[in-house]
A and B are shown apart, each in its own frame.
Chain A
């Protein structure tokens, strides 16, 4: 017996762009940064820096909040 697919009653995107903030990425197993280094992902959701000012790229560290818009 095959299981019917889960209902899609709610939006649950894999990628969410936070206004003036990071990109949230769900369900990834690894992320390659701009230097080509591949970082394993150990969380259900990660935040990727979009402002390029994070001290721990490719991840967001909240620095975008102190950058004037």
Chain B
């Protein structure tokens, strides 16, 4: 993947610095980018990507460059504060460790965000579905990778359960069945580009923020509980919507490898949701009780950023 297109002063500075072109100088101060959310989102996305697959046109050493880590720190602090504030606004009650799996179900049941899968099943036209798949590709081409960073940071039971889940996400040892690979084959089959990061320049800021939130939680040991809560909420809200995606894709005659990707998730995530909520989050909360509330913060965040993305996309279609 090549560096993304800048969207404002901060990302212009960042891309120039990563590409080693021109005189980048000192990073713009936060007041210069604080007004451009789009600029902020693409900049943090780019900095996080240095810890995933990186960029052909950037130096691999940039991942640990102190000058860039300072910028990443400022962007992450702003994002985390925003996410925690949204969670605090729901007035969450503290949860006892043994109640975590039930509390996760409550958070999921209370989610009233709009459903893109409902729209795809009944109303979306072909262009809208292709637009949704381009947006989704930002995450699905690196599906599960953010939670893989959490493995070494967990106690014994949660670690074993996360590995069971990740093993399935990564194809149970068969590269042909790796979920991100299934999605790539699906993109090709519907005539879209399948290479890693192909549509990052088209990603809406809501989508980048959704991806940044997942990466932020996965990359920080301090946020391990929130990362696992995020994973649980994702898995718990996947199998029924995936079935609706299959029905919508079939309605639009986009079935084949892309509906096979969603079809796999009907079955896989009906399993993963229990592994995530009980065996990962439940045991983590028992072993590290201070993580219980963090798990719920992560679960809420997952649903909240998806709801914001879904609202923005539906609004752009005049669908809501």
Which A residues are closer than 8 A to B by beta carbons?
A: 10, 16, 18, 21-22, 24, 42-47, 55-56, 59-63, 65-66
> Can you sample 25 A-B contacts with CB below 8 Å?
A10-B157, A18-B274, A18-B278, A21-B274, A24-B271, A42-B177, A43-B168, A44-B164, A44-B167, A44-B172, A45-B168, A47-B271, A56-B266, A59-B267, A60-B271, A61-B243, A61-B266, A61-B270, A62-B239, A62-B240, A62-B266, A62-B269, A62-B270, A63-B240, A66-B240
Q: How many pairs of A and B residues are in contact by the CB < 8 Å rule?
A: 52
Q: What CA separation (Å) do A45 and B270 show in the bound complex? A: 11
Where the two chains meet, the residues of B that have a C-beta atom closer than 8 Å to any C-beta of A are: 156-157, 164, 167-168, 172, 177, 239-240, 243, 266-271, 273-275, 278
Whether A60 pairs with B270 at a CB distance below 8 angstroms is yes
Chain B hits for A42, CB < 8 A: 172, 177
A42–B239 Cα gap in the complex (Å)? Answer: 18
Name the A residues within 8 Å of B167 (CB-CB). 44
A60 to B274 Cα, complex, angstroms:
12
- Pick from B172, B240, B267: contact of A65, CB below 8 A: B240
Q: Which 9 A-B pairs have the closest CB atoms?
A: A62-B239, A47-B271, A60-B270, A62-B240, A62-B270, A47-B270, A61-B266, A59-B267, A44-B164
Q: In the complex, how many angstroms separate the beta carbon of B284 from the nearest chain A beta carbon?
A: 14
Residues of B within 8 A of A45 (CB): 164, 168, 271, 275
A10 to B271, CA, bound (A): 21
Docked CA distance A21–B154 (Å) = 27
Q: Which of A16, A18, A44, A66 has the most CB of B within 10 A?
A: A44
Cα distance, A56 to B263, chains bound together (Å): 10
Q: When chains A and B are docked, how far (Å) is the Cα of A65 from the Cα of B164? A: 23
Assembled-state Cα–Cα distance A44/B267 (Å): 13
The answer to whether residues A43 and B271 also contact, given A61-B243, A66-B240 and a CB cut-off of 8 A, is: yes
Write out the residue numbers on chain B whose beta carbons fall within 8 Å of the beta carbon of A10. Answer: 156-157
The distance in angstroms between the C-alpha atoms of A21 and B101, with both chains bound, is 14
Measured in the bound complex, the distance between the Cα atoms of B278 and A24 in whole Å is: 12
Bound Cα distance A18, B269 (Å) = 15
Chain A residues closer than 8 Å to B278, beta-carbon distance? 18
Residue with the highest number of chain A CB atoms closer than 10 Å, among B156, B172, B269, B271 = B271
Q: Which of B156, B164, B172, B267 has the most A CB atoms < 10 Å from its CB?
A: B267
Instruction: List residues of chain B with CB within 8 A of the CB of A18.
Output: 274, 278
